[in-house]
């Protein structure tokens, strides 16, 4: 399936049973809610999907299962977050064989590569596959920034097509467009900067709280892209305290707790993560439940698989 790199792409959470196996029943329930809301693609095994604690085989189980589940309705993007180029290439090739539609690439894990090493890492993976590639640029969490000059080098690879822009500097979107025009699609990767990024021209939104609030997330995107800014802003301001849960080190636990509160997920995480408790739990629950108490009615046609959108 062709990947257009626009719209809402949930960074989907991975569900686990109490005995630490993949919980595909709970996973399916969430995916069905996402499809009903009208999402445009899915990212599997990302940071929010607990990539660092998934085995390679579990990633492929999720990929094959999701391919069957979505049945070609939307493109599926598999995240690659590895320590070595050799393993990353192996995963990229197998993902293509199994039927992934695209890849998202993080810079090398653990080792803090310099600019030349990072660019070489991305190039060698891109050269190993015909799949479209999105580069994940998140220097805040991963300590490696993919600079404009580095993107200039990566531009020679036609299948490197997009960036998940998570520098937390909204002006970087304008810098990308000024330097490269439409060579790279720009996907916002920071929930509490989403509307600002979309207004500045971002093509799409790789979202986190969409896992708990799919309809509201899709509505904001579609309203902005349709020029209905006031309607989008009203939803965004309501949503913003919850969206800020996406930029905390415990975003996995927080967002999974939100999924429980909206009835489309489970709270179980894989160790070393632990579910939150005590005062921290009460604080996060209050943010979520305060929002749910005044959950807005969404404008007609702003979400759903058949709703029209002006891109």
Dump pLDDT digits (tens) for 96-111: 999 999 999 999 998 9
- The beta strands (E) that lie in 19-87 are given as 42-44, 76-80
pLDDT of 130 over the 50 cut: yes
The pLDDT confidence band at residue 308, using thresholds 50, 70 and 90, is very low
Q: What is the pLDDT of residues 75-90, one digit of tens each?
A: 999 999 999 999 999 9
Q: What is the CATH number of the domain that holds 243?
A: 3.20.20.70
pLDDT confidence of residue 311: 41
110 versus 311: which is more confidently predicted? Answer: 110
Residue at token pair 């509490």: 192
Structure tokens at 36: 């009903």
In a domain, 181, yes or no: yes
pLDDT confidence of residue 70: 98
Phi-psi region of 234 (alpha: psi -120 to 50; beta: other; left: phi over 0): alpha
Residues 168-195 have a mean pLDDT of 98
What is the total count of domains within the chain? 1
In a domain, 144, yes or no: yes
In a domain, 305, yes or no: no
In a domain, 229, yes or no: yes
Q: At what angle do helices 115-127 and 85-98 cross, to 10 degrees?
A: 30
In a domain, 33, yes or no: yes
* Structural domain boundaries, residue 250: 7-293
In a domain, 2, yes or no: no
Q: What is the pLDDT of residues 140-151, one digit of tens each?
A: 999 999 999 999
Task: Judge if pTM exceeds 0.85.
Answer: yes
**219: nearest Cα among 7, 69, 6:** 7
Q: Max Cα separation, the chain?
A: 51
Count CA within 13 A, CB hemisphere, residue 265.
27
Task: Say how far apart CA 229 and CA 233 lie, in whole Å.
Answer: 6
140: preceding bond cis by omega (within 30 degrees):
no
In a domain, 179, yes or no: yes
pLDDT of 310 over the 70 cut: no
pLDDT confidence of residue 306: 65
DSSP track, 240-306: HHHHGGGGSTTHHHHHHHHHHHHTS------TT-----HHHHHHHHHHHHHHHHTPPPPPTTSSSTT
The pLDDT confidence band at residue 123, using thresholds 50, 70 and 90, is very high
Count CA within 13 A, CB hemisphere, residue 204.
24
The pLDDT confidence band at residue 66, using thresholds 50, 70 and 90, is very high
In a domain, 310, yes or no: no
Residues 37-49 have a mean pLDDT of 98
């Amino acid at each position: 399936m062709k990947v257009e790199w626009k719209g809402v792409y949930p960074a989907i959470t991975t569900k686990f049973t109490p005995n630490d196996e993949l919980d595909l029943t709970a996973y399916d329930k969430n995916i069905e809610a996402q499809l009903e809301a009208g999402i445009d693609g899915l990212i599997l095994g990302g940071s929010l999907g607990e990539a660092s604690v998934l085995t390679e085989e579990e990633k492929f189980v999720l990929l094959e299962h999701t391919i069957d589940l979505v049945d070609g309705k939307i493109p599926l993007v598999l995240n690659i977050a590895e320590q070595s180029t050799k393993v990353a290439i192996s995963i990229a090739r197998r993902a293509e064989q199994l039927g992934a539609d695209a890849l998202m690439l993080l810079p090398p894990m653990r080792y803090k590569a310099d600019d030349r090493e990072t660019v070489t890492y991305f190039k060698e993976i891109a050269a190993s596959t015909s799949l479209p590639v999105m580069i994940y640029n998140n220097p805040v969490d991963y300590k490696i920034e993919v600079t404009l000059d580095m993107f200039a080098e990566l531009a020679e690879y036609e299948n490197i097509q997009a960036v998940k822009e998570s520098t937390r500097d909204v002006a970087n979107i304008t810098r990308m467009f000024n330097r490269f025009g439409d060579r790279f699609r720009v996907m916002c990767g920071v929930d509490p900067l989403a509307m600002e990024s979309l207004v500045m021209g971002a093509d799409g939104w790789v979202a986190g709280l969409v896992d708990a609030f799919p309809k509201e997330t899709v509505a904001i995107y579609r309203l902005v892209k349709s020029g209905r800014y006031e309607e989008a802003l009203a939803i965004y301001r309501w949503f913003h305290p919850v969206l800020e849960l996406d930029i905390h080190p415990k975003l996995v636990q927080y967002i999974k707790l939100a999924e429980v509160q909206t009835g489309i997920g489970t709270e179980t995480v894989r160790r070393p993560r632990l579910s939150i408790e005590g005062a921290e739990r009460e604080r996060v629950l209050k943010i979520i439940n305060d929002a749910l108490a005044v959950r807005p009615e969404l404008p007609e046609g702003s979400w759903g698989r058949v709703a029209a959108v002006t891109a």
